[in-house]
Each structure stands twice: as C-alpha cells, then as structure tokens.
C-alpha cells in the first residue's frame, strides 16, 4: 500500500515560505534584473544598458569614499560588538540575583529602531546641549563645548558606530550566551582538577567551544554594519563626512533619481555582504562536539 503524504508540515511552513518569497526573493530578483537597465524617471525611456551602471558606480568618487567609510564602520563595529558580546555573555553565564532582569534590559537597545536610537544619542553628541559636553566641562576636561560630529571623519564615524555597537551588542551577547550555556560543567570541573585557572580555562576551553556562537555573532554584525543607514543619517544628516554605502545608495536612487545605478549598487552590496559572511563563517565557525 502506498503511504499517504502528510501535508500538515508543508501547511505549517507555507506562510513563512510565502513571506520569504514575497518580501525577500522577489525584490532581490527584481533588483538583480533592474541593475542592468537604465532607470531614470526624469530621462525616459527605460532600456537595457548592460554593465554601464556598474562602471559608473565604480567610478563614482562618493561611492569610493563611502566604501572606505564602511570599512572603518565594519572594523570598529564588528570588533567592539564581538568583544563586548563575549564579555557580557561570560558574565551572564553565572546565575545571580537580578540576572533575568539584566538580560531583559540588555535586549532593549537591540529592540529599538535605529531611528529612535539616533534621536536618543543626539542628546549625547549634540555640540550645544549634549550630555557628553556637559559632563566633560563639569569635570574640567574641556574648556568649551566640542563638535563631535561632522568635522573630523574618523571621530564622526567612531561616534556613530558607538551608537550601532550599543544596538547590535545585545544580539551578539545572546548568541554567544546560548552556546555558553550548552557547555557541560563537567569540562570546567575536569580542567580545574588538572590545575587550570580561570584564565587558562577561558582561553583553551571556553573560546574554542563558543566558536559557533562567535561566528554567527560576527556575521550578523557584518551584515548590520554593512547596511548601516539610520544612525549616520539621523546623527550626521546628508553630510558626506561619514557616508556609508547604504546612505550612498539612498543618495543615488532618491536624490539623483538614478534608480538603475541604485539597483546596481544595492546588488554589489548584497554580493559583497554574502562574500564576506561566507569567508568569516568558514574561518571562524567550527563544529563542536562535547
């Protein structure tokens, strides 16, 4: 007798599949196709242009500048969020009074939209009424209020990336903490019996065993940082001092109204994100067996 097909599993996952197809795969396919067309509402008609959009994008000085800025964003953001994620995860691994409340509070920055975070941090970085300037001046560390955003490129990027690190570190912490909690306590007890101290146990036991969590945390940090838009747009406006690739995509598409080049730049960012993520996952991720 033929076995009857159980359609229940397919019915349960069908909403998710439809969601992914409509909101992810369909726009991705449209962007890929449109990247090879000249799409300018003020200069019709739309026609096939081959690789012209890509050539123009790669020769655009603003795009090259935003690419360099994005690399700085990645270095600062990924490094800080990963290191802080490991640090907080190790602290939260041990049970203590108020641990659950602390975890709930820790998730809050990640749950807030980037626009809201940018507005909140405006009150800290503001050159006229910022909290940071007030604190530094009250401590007599500065004689007059400083401008942190818009003047110096690296300082502006650092200030903006601090805001994003504040947002993405909670997710890195939760990802690494989930792996930490799966490590059997017997391994640490055996290491202690063999004469290992806390530092050696962390270096030779904890770090190797949490590599899967670190790999996922790094990949999500790279994806978030490569697509940073809300924080620099809110904090620095349209100034080119700290433009990211995502901001340049917005400028090309909606300010210059050159949607063809905007599609091409979006496609390049997607491919670059995929390439970097695969490389990082390959070198950091390692299957762990207890």
Mean pLDDT for 214-226 is 91
Kindly give the interhelix angle for 153-180 and 61-93, rounded to the nearest 10 degrees.
40
CB burial of residue 226 (10 Å; 0-12, 13-18, 19+): buried
Q: Is the pLDDT of residue 201 over 70?
A: yes
Residue 48 sits at φ, ψ, to 5 deg, of -70, 130
Cα–Cα distance, 48 to 32 (Å, whole number): 13
Dihedral (Cα; 132, 133, 135, 141), 10-degree rounding: 120
Q: pLDDT value at position 1?
A: 54
DSSP 8-state symbol, 242: G
Cβ-contact 229, 240 below 8 angstroms: no
Q: Is the pLDDT of residue 206 over 90?
A: no
The topology under which CATH files domain 55-284 is MetI-like fold (1.10.3720)
Which is it for strands 37-38 and 47-48: parallel, antiparallel or unpaired?
Answer: antiparallel
Neighbours of 135 (CB within 10 A): 12
pTM of this prediction?
Answer: 0.85
DSSP 8-state symbol, 2: P
Dihedral (Cα; 238, 244, 246, 251), 10-degree rounding: 30
3-state secondary structure of 43: coil
Smallest CA-to-CA distance from 244 within 263, 257, 226 is with: 226
Q: Is the pLDDT of residue 131 over 80?
A: yes
Cβ-contact 168, 220 below 8 angstroms: yes
Angle at the Cα of 266 (from 268 to 36), degrees rounded to 5?
A: 75
Residue 36 sits at φ, ψ, to 5 deg, of -100, 15
Q: Is the pLDDT of residue 290 over 80?
A: no
Q: pLDDT value at position 128?
A: 82
Q: pLDDT value at position 4?
A: 67
Within a 13 Å sphere around the CA of 150, how many CA atoms are in the beta-carbon half?
Answer: 13
Percentage of residues in the chain having pLDDT higher than 70: 97
Q: pLDDT value at position 28?
A: 85
Q: DSSP per residue over 186-223, as a string?
A: HHHHHHHHTT--HHHHIIIIIHHHTHHHHHHHHHHHHH
Average per-residue pLDDT for the chain: 86
**13-72 tens-digit pLDDT:** 888 888 888 888 888 888 889 889 888 887 778 888 888 999 999 898 888 999 999 999
Q: pLDDT value at position 76?
A: 92
């Amino acid at each position: 007798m033929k076995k009857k097909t159980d359609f229940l599993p397919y019915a349960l996952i069908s909403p998710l599949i439809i969601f992914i197809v409509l909101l992810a795969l369909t726009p991705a396919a449209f962007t890929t196709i449109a990247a090879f067309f000249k799409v300018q509402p003020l200069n019709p008609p739309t026609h096939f242009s081959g690789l012209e959009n890509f050539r123009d994008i790669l020769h655009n000085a603003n795009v090259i500048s935003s690419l360099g800025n994005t690399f700085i964003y990645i270095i600062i953001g990924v490094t800080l969020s990963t290191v802080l994620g490991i640090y907080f995860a190790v602290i939260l691994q041990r049970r203590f009074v108020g641990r659950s409340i602390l975890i709930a509070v820790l998730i809050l920055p990640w749950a807030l939209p980037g626009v809201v975070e940018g507005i909140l941090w405006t009150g800290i970085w503001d050159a006229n009424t910022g909290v940071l300037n007030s604190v530094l001046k009250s401590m007599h560390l500065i004689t007059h209020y400083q401008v942190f955003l818009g003047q110096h490129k690296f300082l502006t990027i650092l200030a903006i990336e601090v805001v994003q690190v504040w947002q993405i570190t909670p997710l890195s912490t939760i990802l690494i903490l989930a792996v930490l909690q799966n490590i059997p306590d017997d391994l640490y007890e055996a290491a202690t019996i063999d004469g290992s101290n806390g530092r050696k146990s962390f270096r030779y036991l904890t770090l190797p065993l949490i590599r899967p969590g670190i790999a996922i945390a790094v990949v999500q940090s790279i994806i978030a940082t490569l697509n940073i838009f809300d924080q620099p747009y809110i904090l620095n406006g349209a100034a080119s001092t700290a433009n990211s690739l995502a901001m340049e995509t917005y400028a090309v598409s909606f300010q210059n109204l050159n949607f063809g080049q905007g599609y091409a730049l979006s496609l390049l960012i997607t491919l670059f994100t995929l390439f970097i993520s695969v490389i990082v996952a390959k070198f950091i991720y390692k299957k762990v067996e207890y």
